[in-house]
Amino acid sequence: AGCDPRHEKLQRLVLGLPPLPETKARPPAERPGRRFRVACADDVAQVIARVVDRPPPPTHASAQRQDGGASEAYEAFNVASGGPQGYDLDDYVAALAAALGRPVPEVPEAPEMRNYEKQGVLDTTRAEEELGFVPTQMSEWMAATVAWHAPLLDGCS
């Protein structure tokens, strides 16, 4: 199995391969709706490079260390594709099936197949406004994701 089995489970479903061995099931998502956003590795690298290249933010009074010295100020940016509304699992599986040249299967309601939905929709506005981040569309990165998972699935049947 790969480092993140969520995609691999879905790619196995589209390819008609047996599922991964069962793991301890998590409870269903407690988020409203079933939309989510995922990050493209190239987008994460883009944002990291832009953060590294920009001047450091000023140290805030709230960032003082207990010994009275100044502390580094840290920033966080959400990085994800899917636009403000995100994707639903049907969007994701349709893109996955298109990248594989396969028909779109019905995704079971089982929590282990629907764990992307636990992520929710991240707001990337800050990264877009402050760093000029433009999310890569799923149709552009799905083929690379499928190719990355292909060796993990070789010989599965």
* pTM assigned to the model: 0.68
Query: How large is the C-alpha radius of gyration of the chain?
Result: 19
Give residue-wise pLDDT tens across range 12-42.
888 888 877 766 555 544 444 677 778 888 9
What is the structure's pLDDT at 103? 94
Cα four-point dihedral sign 82, 86, 92, 98: negative
User: Angle at which helices 89-100 and 5-15 pack, to 10 degrees?
Assistant: 60
Q: 102 CB contacts (<8 Å, ≥6 apart)?
A: 14, 15
Percent of the chain with pLDDT over 70: 77
pLDDT at 88 over 80: yes
Most confident of 8-12, 81-85, 102-106: 102-106
What is the structure's pLDDT at 45? 92
Give residue-wise pLDDT tens across range 91-101.
889 999 999 99
Residues in the chain: 157
